[in-house]
Structure 1
Amino acid sequence: MSRFVDRVVLHLAAGDGGRGCTSVHREKFKPLGGPDGGNGGSGGDVVLVVDPQVHTLLDFHFRPHARAGKGQPGMGANRNGARGEDLVLAVPPGTVVLNEDGQVLADLVGAGTRFVAAEGGKGGLGNAALASRARKAPGFALLGEPGEVRDLTLELKSMADVGLVGFPSAGKSSLVSVLSAAKPKIADYPFTTLAPNLGVVSVGDDTFTIADVPGLIPGASEGRGLGLDFLRHIERTAVLAHVVDCANLESDRDPVSDVDALEAELAAYQPELADAGLGDLADRPRVVVLNKIDVPDAADMAEMVTVHFEAKGWPVYAISAVAHKGLDELRYGLYELIKAHRKANPPAAPERIVLRPRAVDVAEFTVRKDPDEAGAFVVSGSKPERWIRQTDFANDEAVGFLADRLARLGVEDALIKAGAQAGCAVTIGDVSFDWEPQTPAGVDLMRTGRGTDIRLESDERVGAHERKYRKRVRRGLIDPDEEILE
C-alpha cells in the first residue's frame, strides 16, 4: 500500500574537492621543465529540483542519506581532475526547505526550480598554478576542500486549488473519490484518513486539484488530533470548502457550530510561510458543502442552515457523495471560483538571476580572545579558514605558503594589535598552533629544496628522508644497528 509522506529529514553530504598535483615536467634534453601539476576537480553539489511528476517525499523517508560525487585529483602534464557529479534530487511542487534551526531556506514552487542544498568543496590548486616569482617550482599543492555536510528538513505543502476542511467522518474522502479518480480509504469510523488525499477534477477541457485535511477538530491549531501536521496543506489553496455532516446525531453539534469551530481553528493557525498572491487564510473564498442529504432529516437540516451561510456571502451546495446528488453544481461552482482566482493571480514570471557583488569594505577576518584558554586567540573568517583546510601541514613549504598568505591578509598585524605574545595559542578553523611572530612572513624567500622552507628548519617535524628510513626499518629491509641515517 502506498504511503503519503510530507515531512522528512535529509542528511546531505556534498562531494569533496580533489587535491592538486605536485609534479615537475621531465623530458629528455629539456632540463628545468618547470611545474606542471594540474588542479583538483571540485566536488559535486546536492541539488533539489522541482518535478511535477513527484507527489510525495516517500523516497526520502526510506533513503534519507544522500552524497554527491567527489572531485578527482589533479595529475601531471597540467591535467586537471574531473569535477564530481552533482546529485540531483527530485522533489514535489510546494516543498519547503528548513535548516536545523527551523529557518526557511527555500520555497520550491514551479517546475524546474532548483536549490543547491549542499555545495561541493573546491578543488585544490596544483603546483603549476602556485608558481610565482618567489616560488618558481613549488614542491607542494593545495588540498581539496571538504564538501558541505548538513541536515535539512523538507516539508510538503500541497499545491491544491481546493482544500476540504471538516470534522472527521464528514465525508471529505468520499467527496474526493466521487469528484476525481482518487481512491482513498473510506470507513465508518473517525480518523480513517491519516494523510491528505489529492484528486484531479475534470471540468470540460480544464482541470483543478482538490485535497482534504484529515483530523481537523477544535484545538488542532494547538496540536490536538492530527490537524497540526496537515493544516499546512491548505496554506496554498485558492478556495476553502467546509464539508459539513448534516446527518450528525450528536446533540451538541450542528452545521453552524461545526463551521464556526473550524473557522476559529483556521484563524488561530498562523502559517510559517506567507503565500505570494494568496494572502491570509482568512481572506480565501469560502464554500459550504452540506453533505449526506440522502438522509431525510439531513435534507431538512441543510435547508434550515442554508440561509445562515448565504447571509455571510458564502456559496452553499447541498450534496450527497454516496447518492451522487448535487455534484455537478458543486464541481462547476468550484471551477468558477478557481477560474477567477487564476485570472487575478497569473503565474509568476521566472526568477531572474541577481548578481550581488561583495562589499569591498567588509572585514575578511576577525581576531578575538579565546574564551576557553587564557592568553589564546581565535581568528575567524572565510578566507583564513579556507586556507587552513587547503594546507598540507606535513609539507614545510605548504606551511610557509600559508604563513605568507596570512601575513598578506593582515592576520599577523591584527594579532599584534590584539596583544598576542610569542608562543601563545592561535586557533584558525580546526587547527591550533603556537604563534611565532619572529618568523618572517611575506618576505622574499631563499631558495631551498622542494617541499622545504628555511624558516621552518628548526621545527621538529620528521622529514621525508627520515620517514622513508623508518619505514624500511619497520619492514626489515635494513638493520638499524648497521645502517646510518644520512
Structure 2
Amino acid sequence: MSRFVDRVTIHVAAGNGGHGCSSVHREKFKPLGGPDGGDGGNGGGVRLVVDPQVHTLLDFHFRPHAKAGNGRPGQGGNRDGATGEDLVLKVPDGTVVLDADGRILADLVGDGTTFEAAQGGRGGLGNAALASKARKAPGFALLGEEGQARDLVLELKSVADVGLVGFPSAGKSSLVSVLSAAKPKIADYPFTTLVPNLGVVQTEGEVFTIADVPGLIPGASTGRGLGLEFLRHLERCAVLAHVVDCATLEPGRDPISDIDALEAELAAYQPALTADHGLGDLAERPRVVILNKIDVPDAADLADLVEAEVAERGWPVHRISAVSHEGLRELTFALARMVRDYREQHPKPQARRPVIRPKAVDDAGFTVIADPASPGGFIVRGTRPERWIAQTQFDNDEAVGYLADRLNRLGVEDELVRQGAEPGAPVTIGAVTFDWEPTTPMGDEVPVTGRGTDIRLDRSDRIGAAERKEARRLRRGLHEDEFDEDQS
C-alpha cells in the first residue's frame, strides 16, 4: 500500500564549479605561445518542477539528499570544462517550499512551475581569460566556486475545489467514495482517515475536485489531534462543506454544536499563504452544510429540527445519506454551481512576470564593518569580494596580487582607510583573515615579474640566520672582535 507524505525536509546541494587551467602553449619553434588555459565548467543546479503525475512527497521521504553534477576543470589548448548536469526534482501541484527558518520561498502551483532550489557554482577562469595588457602570461587561474547547499522543507497543500470539514466518523470518506471514483479507507472508528483523499466529481458540463481530509476536533488550530495536518489542506479550497453526523450518540454533541466548533477552529487558524492564493481567510469562504446519515430514523428527525436554524445563517443545507444515496444528486449539482460561481469571480491567475530590480546607483557592492571579535579589525561583506576570495589560490603570489588589484578597484582599500584601519589590522573576507598592508602598491601599472610571482609580495618579515646571530651578539654585549675571538 502506497504511503501519502505531505511534509518532508530535503538537503539539496548544487554542483561545484570546475577550476580554471593555468597553461602555456608549447609548440616547436614557438617558444612564446602565450597562455591557453581554458575555463572551468559551471556546476549544475537543483530545480523543483511541478509535475501533474506526482501526487505525494514520498520519494523525498526515502531519498532526502539531492546533489547536482560538478563542473569539469578547464584544460590546456583553450579547452573549457564541461558544465555539470542539472538535477530536476518533480513535486506535486500545490507544494510550498520553506527554508530552515520557516520562511516561505515559493508556492508551486500549476503544471511546469519551477523553483531554483540551489544554484550551481561558477567555473573558474583560466589564465587565457585572465591575460591583459600588463599581465600577458598569467601564471595562475581562478578556482571554481562551491555550489549552494541548504536544507528545504517541502509542504504539500492539496489543490481541491471543495473541502469536506467535519468531526471524525462524520461520513466524509463515504461521501467522497460515492461522489467520485476515489476509494478511501472507510471504517467505524474515529480517525480512520489519516491522509487527504482527492476525488474528481463529474456533472453535466462541470468537473471539480473534492478533498476528504482527516477529522477535526476542538483545539485543532493549536495542534490538537491531527491539528495542522488537517487544516493545512483546506487553505486552497474554494468551497468548504460541513459534513455533520446527525446519528451520533456521543453525549453533548448535536449538529449545531458541531458546526459551531468547526467554525471556531476555522476562524482561529491563520493560513500561511493568504497573500499568495488570494482566497482570503478560511472564515470568509463559501459554506454549505451537509446533514449526513438521514437513513437512520432518529437522524432524520434531528435533521428536521436543525435544518431551519442552519438555513438562518445563510448557508445552503442538504440532507443526504451516503449509504442509501438519498440527496446526492441535488448535492452534486449544488456544489458544481458554487464552484462555477467561484471560478467566474476568481479567474485563473496569470503567470507571474519576472521582477527586475536594478542596482542602486550608490550601491558599492560591499560593506565594511568593525570586527566585534578582533579589536581594530574589520569584516568586508559582499557577493563579489567573498566570491573572489573563494576563487583565489593563496599559495600563488601572482594570484594574491591579482586579488589585491580587484579589491582595490572595487574600493575596498579606500573604505578601510576612510574607517581608520591601521597597518597590520586583521581584515576578514569570507573565510580568510589577512593583515592589511596599506603601503603595498596596487594596480595593473605595477610591473609583473615571473609567472606565479609578484614583486609586491617579495618582502618577507622572517628573520634570517645572520640577523639572529647579530641580535644574539648584541644581547651579550660583545664587540665584533670579541665575538670573533669567542667563536674561535
Q: Same fold (TM over 0.5)?
A: yes
2 CA distance for matches of 1:330 and 1:339?
14
Deviations 1:455-481 (Å, cap 9, x if unpaired)? 1123489xxxxxxxxxxxxxxxxxxxx
Give distance in 1, aligned partners of 2:31 and 2:251.
Answer: 101
* 1:325-359 residue CA offsets vs partner (Å, 9 max, x unmatched): 22111111111111111122221222223333222
Residue 344 of structure 1 corresponds to 345
Root mean square deviation, CA, Å: 1.5
Deviations 1:272-295 (A, max 9, x none): 111433222122111111111111
Q: State yes or no: 1:203 paired with 2:209.
A: no
Contact residue 179 and residue 331 of structure 1 kept, 8 A = yes
State how far apart, in whole Å, the 2-side matches of 1:119 and 1:394 are.
Answer: 28
Q: Partner of 2:486 in structure 1?
A: none
Alignment of 1:139-154 (within 5 A): 139-154=139-154
| Equivalent AA in structure 1 for residue 124 of structure 2 | G
8 Å contact 2:17–2:122 — kept in the other structure? yes
Which AA in structure 1 matches 2:446?
L
Q: Distance in 1 between matches of 2:203 and 2:190?
A: 31
Aligned amino acid, residue 277 of structure 1: G
C-alpha distance in 1, partners of 2:237/2:73?
50
Q: Say which one has the larger Rg.
A: 2
**Which amino acid is 1:176 matched to?**
V
- Tell me whether 1:442 sits opposite 2:443 in the alignment: yes
C-alpha deviations, 1:1-43, integer Å up to 9, x for none? 1111111111110111111111112222333221111111111
What is aligned with 1:414?
415
| Residue in 2 that maps onto 1:91 | 91
Aligned counterpart, 2:252: 252
User: Is 1:242 equivalent to 2:242 in the alignment?
Assistant: yes
CA contact (8 A) 1:167 1:216 kept: yes
Q: For 1:254 and 1:453, how far apart are their aligned partners in 2?
A: 87
C-alpha distance in structure 2 between counterparts of 1:92 and 1:138, whole Å: 50
Secondary structure at the counterpart of residue 115 of structure 1: strand
Q: For residue 293 of structure 2, what is the amino acid of its counterpart?
A: K
- Between stretches 158-167 and 224-233, larger displacement belongs to 224-233
Q: Is the 8 A contact 1:42 1:71 kept in 2?
A: yes
Distance between the aligned counterparts of 2:89 and 2:40, measured in 1?
25
Q: Given that residues 21 and 75 in structure 2 are in contact (C-alpha distance below 8 angstroms), is that contact kept between their aligned partners in structure 1? A: yes
Q: For the Cα contact (< 8 Å) 2:165–2:215, is it kept in 1?
A: no
Asked whether 1:261 is paired with 2:261, we answer yes
CA distance in 2, matches of 1:350, 1:373: 50
Which residue in 1 is equivalent to 2:458? Answer: 457
Residue 52 of structure 1: SS of its match in structure 2? coil
Shift of 1:443: 4.7
Pair 1:317-2:318 in alignment: yes
**d(CA) in 2 for partners of 1:290, 1:325:** 11
Give the Cα separation in 1 of the matches to 2:211 and 2:161. 8
Contact 2:206/2:336 (CA < 8 Å) preserved in 1?
no
> Using the alignment, how far apart are the partners of 2:233 and 2:270 within structure 1?
13
One-letter amino acid matched to 2:31: P
The amino acid of 1:299's aligned partner reads A
The question of whether the paired residues in 1 share the 8 Å contact of 2:169 and 2:215 is answered with: no
Which residue of structure 2 aligns with residue 361 of structure 1? Answer: 362
Q: Is the 8 A contact 2:4 2:56 kept in 1?
A: yes
- Structure 2 Cα separation of the partners of residues 251 and 425 of structure 1: 74
Match of 1:270 in 2: 270
Q: Counterpart of 2:477?
A: none
Give the Cα separation in 1 of the matches to 2:45 and 2:204. 44
The aligned amino acid for 1:171 is G
Give yes or no for the alignment of 1:109 onto 2:118.
no
Secondary structure in 2 matching 1:150:
strand
What CA distance in whole angstroms lies between the structure 2 residues aligned with 1:86 and 1:122?
Answer: 13
What's the offset of the Cα at 1:371?
0.7
Matched residue, 1:287: 288
- CA deviations 1:28-69 (Å, max 9, x no partner) are 233322111111111111101111111111111111110111
- 1:78-227 matches, cutoff 5 A: 78-204=78-204, 206-227=206-227
> Larger deviation: 76-85 or 441-450?
441-450
Equivalent residue for 2:374?
373
Compare 319-328 and 163-172 and name the one that shifted more.
319-328
Distance in 1, Cα, partners of 2:209 & 2:448:
74
Q: Give the conservation status (yes or no) of the 8 Å contact 1:168–1:215.
A: yes
Give the aligned partner of residue 5 of structure 2.
Answer: 5
- In the comparison of the two structures, how many residue pairs are matched? 461
Equivalence for 1:333: 334
Please say if 1:384 is aligned against 2:385: yes
| TM-score, normalization by structure 1 | 0.92
Q: Deviations over 1:346-383 (max 9, x none)?
A: 21222223333222311311112111122221111111
AA partner of residue 89 (structure 1)? L
8 A contact 1:214–1:227 mirrored in 2: no
* Deviation (angstroms), 1:100: 1.6
Q: Could you tell me how far apart the structure 2 residues matched to 1:406 and 1:398 are? A: 12
Q: Deviations over 1:246-267 (max 9, x none)?
A: 0011231100110011001101
Maintained 8 Å contact 1:215/1:227: no
